[in-house]
Each structure stands twice: as structure tokens, then as C-alpha cells.
A and B are shown apart, each in its own frame.
Chain A
Amino acid sequence: MLTYIARRLLTLIPMVIVISFLIYLGLELTPGDAVSHMVPPDARSMMDEERLQALRESLGLGKPFIVRYWIWITGVMQGEFGYSLAGGVPISKIFLDRLPATLELSFAALLISTVLGSILGTISALTRGSLTDQSLTVVGMLGVSIPEFFFGLVAILVFALNLNWFPVGGRILPGYDSFWDRLPHLVMPAMVLSIMMTAGVMRYARSSMLDALSRDFIRTARSKGMPEWRVNILHGFRVALTPVIVLIGFRLPVLIGGSVIIEQVFQWPGIGKEFVSAVRSQDYPLVMMVALFSVLAVLIASLIVDLLTAIIDPRVRLGE
């Protein structure tokens, strides 16, 4: 197992280099650069072009693409994440400030969607063909079909502006600092972010559970006189859980990226919002680090899923 993990971790290095190079190349091919985004178009014709060029040089943007990439990648390997071009803020500080907010939101959404999705999917499978099953299927379809921002806006209108149950947005107010102070701010964005994933997990859990319930070992368990709830939960649900865990594992990094819209709608100060702003302003050191983080999150999530699958399902043998 350890050899397998070490081998997988080593394969991450070339993958990260290739992916980061491709992202860097993509940014390079985008017209303009960070400096060209610092001056609004309305004012550009009245600005001193020579001075802007000097700024470009001082920020290292005048160097050839490959040299800039080399400086960046070697810096990252030495633990130097660089600075945001726009404001000179260390990228490590931006991560420390923003990532907790995104992780808080993503984990909350993951927790809600996992618990709700698994339970509802199992109920749906166990009541197959009933009104409950059909209702849940319709709800699931709606959940995956309607975009998150729409749910977000409706939630703000109903729960924040009309009922006044939750704040309209933001993560915290001045003068407050604890998690419990933040909780009212977290509820709506986490619920909305989890809707689509809950629907996905529910559908996945339902089909997986139905598949498990049709297996021979379930019939064997029943024939041994085991109570129905034990058959369903101990045998059926455990086996049905494997593909669901794979889905959930792969959803976490997607959630980090997928929270961008929710962060915008709910004014949530996370890394997704920062990423959008960095892409728009072509702040390449920041874009690269967020992208690198996302790539690593996906790759590591994939490794964790493999390990968990092996633990849950003894038939899976790692490294073979």
C-alpha cells in the first residue's frame, strides 16, 4: 500500500509540471497582460505609455514566456509562491485569507449533500416505484437541471429579504469572529451549493443501491433469515456506498472550483471569487497558484478515492 501511495505521489510531479505549463501557455496566449488591465479603457488613451511599459518591465512581464515560466516553477518548487501583480500581496497570504472561507463552504456543502443524498437515494431505492420514489426522482431532476445562481437569488429573496432569517451575504460582520457568528452567513450558500450535488448523490445512491439489492449475496442474507433492515443497511448500503464515495471524492475539488458562482452571489470571500478576479486581470502568479492548487486537489482526491475504495471493497487490489 505504501509503495503504491509513494508511486502515485511521484507521478504527480510530471503531471503537475505539464498541466501548469499548459495553463501558463493558455494565459500567455490571452491578449494583454496584467498591466493592460490596470488602466480602464476610458483612461488608456490619456496615459503615459512609456511609464506603463516601465511598470511592465519592473514586474518581470517583459521577459520571454519560457523564462517567466521557469522562474515561476522553480520558485514554486522552492516554496516561493510569489506575489500578486496587481497589489503586491504575497500569494501565500491570499491563500491563507481566502482558502478557509472556500473550504468552510465546500465542506459544509459536501456534508449536507452526502448525508441528504445518501439517505434520500437509499429511501428512493427501497421504495422503488412508489410515489415517494417518483417524487424524489423529480426533485432530483430539478436539482441537477436548475442552475445554482437561480436557487441562490431565490434563497436571498425569500430567506434574507422577505423572511429576514439569514443575512443577505458576506461571511461575517465587523466585531464578530467565531464560527458560531459565521454560521448564519454559511447556511444559505452551503445549502444552495449542495443542492445540485445532493441531487447527484441521490440519483447515484439510488441506482447503486438498486444494483446492490439485486446481487446474490443479498438473496443469501435474506435466506439466512436476517432482518430486512440489516440486509439493506449492513449488506446493501455498504456495497452501494463504494461508487457513491468515488463520486463524493471527485466532487470535493469540483466543489472548490464550483463555488465560484455561489461566492459571487452570496459575496462569500473565498478563493473562487479571487480566482475570477485574477483571471480577468491576468494576474498570472495568482491564477497559476489557484490552478495548481485545484489540480493538486483533483489528483490527491483521486488517490484518496482509490485508497478508500480498496478499504471498503476487499476485491479491489491497489497496484495490480
Chain B
Amino acid sequence: MNKLLTTSAVALIAVCGTTWAWAQPINESELSDPRVRQAIAYAIDMETIAETLFEGAAIPAIGLTSDPANYPEGMNTYSYNPERARELLAEAGWDGSRTLDMVYYYPDQLTADFMAVVQAQLADVGIDMTYRLLEGDVGAQITGRPADPVNGPSVVEWDMLYGARAAIANQEYFNRFAEGQMPMIPTVEEMLPLVEQVNGTVDPAVQRAGYQHMEGIINENVYILPLYYQQLYIFESDRISRNGAPYGNEQYSYNSDVINWTVEPNEDGERVAYTNAAPMQFFELPWQNLGIWVHSRYAFDTILQADGSLRPIGGKLAESYEVSEDGLTLSFTMKEGLKWHDGSDLTAEDVVWSIETAALAPIVQPLVATTIGSIEGADAYKAGEADSISGISVDGRTVTLTFATIDPNMLMSFAQFAPLPKAYLEGVDPLQIQQHEFWQKPVGSGPFMIEEARMNEFTTLVPFPDYHRGVAKIDRIIALPSADGDANLIRNAAAFRADFGYTKNATDVPALEEMEHMNVTAVNIPYTRMFWINQFPRE
């Protein structure tokens, strides 16, 4: 009995000790004190901001991921409570002498307005904050990591960063919690095994448990402050019909079934649909931004297929695929008779060449890059120690990939990965593949092929007659140039030059909805706006 009491007492002291240790700064920075970060969370009235400033086009966030299934029970919503914020600051000994330096990298007016509101709400609880737009090499200003992952000092020169995480796999939200990876958060020991856990299995239940645990830790300590989930808005004119095809995350490849879309014929009887996202100087490699350009979505086909939420649902160029029980081997068999837009055969050799080239290309979507980097022999190949990736083998139309480590997202990656025609690009330095003239009028394998490309004017796409799933019903797509965020969208829509597309700009939505001929559909996407709080001391 005594032993039991002693053990209980020790456990109680340990718990209290943990709590006491938790509620303290871990280094010289006041922001390393979780009470200060919690106070910041309580001070911001995200509900009101979402309803007023963002006109309802933002969903206040609770966790890093927007899927409630990833949350443990009892997640703190940090509902607006300035009184509680003041109490926490007082407990933490915040004397108000420090002015926080907030930075952001979105140059739009809405962001500036948001910063002004946050500044006022923080001031209300006694936190002075100034804000500034980062200019120049933004990436370098937000990614520098301190040599000492606990005591710093900080390499980045700000206290808070307003930014976003756009991820297609849940792991992408958490992987930077691996030791020494965060420019602004000291190593969180209890997160390390959890990061390994969610990356080391293909079992969704084990992954889910890991996400729940990590969301709970982040929520409790406000290591990162998730603000709101951004939606994506698919717009369509009343001329066009998807004929029941699903809506999904338009920034990536998914089963949008574009070949069965129809559009009302024009006065010449031609079924022409207008959209945006045509290139301005060159067609971007479809391995970088996986779906934001019109050619990435419609002129290039991926090996596997994803649904609107980007979950793999089957083959696309592949007729079938198989994953070994240990999760270390993936093989897919390409469909018979696949063609490139120039009429030549699309073979397994093209697929292998594309994977090996992507392994060396400088800018590849991180999830895809991780998958390819996990293939056995990829490291040696990247280091120039091998002529090919040893973990890739071909047998007829079947490509087999053997992985050195489990990659839980390999199917998702290949549902986004489009092979390129080896015949056009063989021999090019992978580092400069984007600079090749092929990208002035690329040859793809998707349902539409590029007919005419006048850079910065328009791109026209016409149905690919040999497409493996049938010929598209729209006669021609005319795509006007724009990057991700089309400044001319409203004008073009009003002039009937935008039949389909998407926007993430919430201010476009009311204007589009006001037009009688336009319809807007909101889609939930994994895109979280957040504050990163720099918890390292600054010199």
C-alpha cells in the first residue's frame, strides 16, 4: 500500500512538474512561454474576422489540418476571450515593453487589412505589434534554422509570420517538427516519435492516432496558431455543364471527368469554352505546381487517379497497380496502346525516364519528390554514384518500384505525377529541364492537346483524338493567361470569357455570384492560414 501511495505521489509530482515545466519559457524568448502564445490565440477574434473582413469566405481553424477526425477530444478552440488573454500575460510576466514584429508575404489589401485588425486586437490585451510585408527573397527570410534547436538564437528576423500551409498529405503539416527542422520552434521532444509514426506506416488507423496526438500537443502549447481554413471556389458559366462530374481540389489532378463536360455551341456551332491559367512565357513543368495551370490538368495525364479530395482511387494511365504487403513495393501496369499527342507510343520507358529525371529536377512538388527520393537507389542516383535508380525495374508494360523506406503517400504522389515524353527531352540537363524549348508547346498525354500557344495572349487546346478514355466533347478550350490568382477574372467573366476555372481569392466570389450567368461552388481544400510564432530568442 505504501509502495502504491509512493508511486502515486511520484506520478502526481511528475504530472505537476510536467505542467509546471510546460507553463514556462524554455529559453530567453518570452514567446517560448506557452502562456504568451495562448494569450495571442485568445486575443484574436477569428470568428468575427471571418464573418466581417473575409465576408464568410474563411472557416475559423481549430487544428492545423481541417479534418476533425484528426483532433483528439477536448481540443481548445481558443474562442475570443481578451480577459483570459490578459490573465495569461500577467501570469507569464509580460510587461508590454516588447513590440512584436509581424511579417507576411501576401501583397493584397485584404491581408494588410487583416494585419491591422490583428494589431488592434493584440493591442487591446497589451501586446504591441507592428507588421510589414516581406520583400525580395521571401523564402530565405522565413526558412533559416538556428544551429541550436532549443536555445537559438533565431536566424529569421521576425517574431510572428502570417503564412499558409497547402498540403495534399496530412504528414506535410507535421513533418517539420522533426528535430531541427523548424526555423521558429525549438525541438519538441514528444513530437519526434509521432512524426516518425505517421511517416512509417501505411496503416491509416496508426497514422490517425499520430495526427490526433500531434494536433493535441500543438493545440495545447500553441506551437503554431492555426487561424482559418481557406476554401477554393470553382466558378462556371451557365453555358457549361460538368454532367455530374465531381468537384474537387482544382489545384491538383483529380477525376474531374473533363471529357464528358459539355458547353453550349456558339453561333458557328462550335463548342468553345473559355478559361484562364494559360502560360505567360512558357508552360510550366507539370511536376511543380501540380494543377494550377490549364495544361497541367488537361494536357498531361497522371499514372494513377485521385478523387476530389486527392485520395487515390485507381489507375489513369495505369490500368492497374499493386502494393506489396510490407508497403515497400509498388508496381503498376500501363494501359495498352497509350499515345502521346504527337501520335507516338507512351511506354513504360517514358515512365521510368520521367521518374529518374524528376529525381534530379530542381523544383518538384515536395510530396512527389519525397516519394521518388524514397525509392531504393535514389540517393545514389542523385549523388551521381549510379546511372539509374536501382529500385526501378520494367517488365513489358509493368513498372515496379522498390522503396528503401515506407512512403505512406506513394499512391497519392503517383496520382499527381505525369510522365513526360522521353523522346523530346532525353539528354537534357534535369537541372535545366524547365528551360528547354519543349515548354513552348509541350506534347502531353491528356484529354486535350495544345493547338496554339501565343505566350501572354492565349492558348487553345483541342481534344486529343487518341485519348485512352475517349474524345472530349468540348471542341476547343481557349485559355487566357493568368497565374494562380487572376487579376482579370471578374472583367473576363463579365465579358463571357470565363466559362470555368477556380479562384482562391475570396473577394472575387461576391462579384462572380452577382453575375446572372455565373455559378460558384465552394470546395474545402487542405489549405490552412496560420501564425508561426518565433520561439527562439532574437539577437
Binding site for B on A (CB under 8 A): 30-33, 35-39, 41-49, 51-52, 54-55, 58-59, 83-89, 94, 97-98, 156, 160-161, 167-174, 264, 267, 269, 273-274, 277
- Contact among B105, B137, B164, B495 for A160, CB-based, below 8 A: B495
Complex Cα gap A277–B455 (Å):
13
| B434 on interface, CB distance cutoff 8 Å | yes
B457:A269 contact, CB within 8 angstroms? yes
> In the complex, what residues of A have CB within 8 A of residue B141's CB?
31
Task: Give 24 A-B contacts (CB < 8 Å), ordered by A residue.
Answer: A32-B139, A37-B137, A41-B134, A42-B163, A42-B165, A42-B166, A44-B142, A47-B363, A48-B369, A54-B362, A55-B362, A55-B363, A55-B431, A55-B432, A58-B431, A88-B282, A94-B281, A160-B491, A169-B488, A169-B491, A174-B478, A267-B481, A269-B455, A269-B457
User: How many A-B Cβ pairs are below 8 Å?
Assistant: 139
Known: A86-B281, A98-B456, A169-B488. A36 touches B139 (CB 8 A): yes
Can you name the residue of chain A whose Cβ is closest to the Cβ of B136? A31
| B460 on interface, CB distance cutoff 8 Å | yes
User: B472-486 toward A: CB 8 Å interface, digit per residue (1/0)?
Assistant: 000010101100000
Can you name the residue of chain A whose Cβ is closest to the Cβ of B362? A55
B139:A39 contact, CB within 8 angstroms? yes
| B435 on interface, CB distance cutoff 8 Å | yes
> In the complex, what residues of B have CB within 8 A of residue A47's CB?
139, 363, 366
Complex Cα gap A168–B497 (Å):
9
| B426 on interface, CB distance cutoff 8 Å | no
Complex Cα gap A84–B176 (Å):
34
Known: A267-B480, A269-B456. A87 touches B435 (CB 8 A): yes
B140:A36 contact, CB within 8 angstroms? yes
Q: Flag the segment in B60-68, B302-310, B436-444 that touches A.
A: B436-444
Q: What is the size category of the interface that chain B forms with chain A?
A: 35 or more
- Contact among B164, B363, B456, B481 for A39, CB-based, below 8 A: B363
B166:A86 contact, CB within 8 angstroms? no
Complex Cα gap A172–B455 (Å):
12
| B92 on interface, CB distance cutoff 8 Å | no
Interfacial residues of chain B within 442-458, with CB under 8 A of chain A in the complex: 452, 454-458
The dominant DSSP class at the B interface is: mixed
A168:B495 contact, CB within 8 angstroms? yes
Binding site for A on B (CB under 8 A): 105, 134-143, 163-166, 172, 175-176, 183, 280-282, 361-363, 365-366, 369, 429, 431-432, 434-437, 439-440, 452, 454-458, 460, 476, 478, 480-481, 487-488, 491-492, 494-495, 497
CB B538 to nearest CB in A, in angstroms, measures 19
A42:B164 contact, CB within 8 angstroms? yes
CB A122 to nearest CB in B, in angstroms, measures 38
Complex Cα gap A160–B281 (Å):
27
> In the complex, what residues of B have CB within 8 A of residue A41's CB?
105, 134, 138-139, 142, 163
CB A15 to nearest CB in B, in angstroms, measures 29
CB B65 to nearest CB in A, in angstroms, measures 16
Q: Which 7 A-B pairs have the closest CB atoms?
A: A88-B435, A32-B137, A31-B136, A87-B282, A44-B139, A55-B362, A46-B366
Can you name the residue of chain A whose Cβ is closest to the Cβ of B367? A46
> In the complex, what residues of B have CB within 8 A of residue A36's CB?
136-140
> In the complex, what residues of B have CB within 8 A of residue A274's CB?
281, 456
CB B412 to nearest CB in A, in angstroms, measures 15
Query: A54-B362, A86-B282 given. 5 additional CB < 8 A pairs?
Result: A31-B136, A45-B183, A87-B439, A97-B456, A161-B491
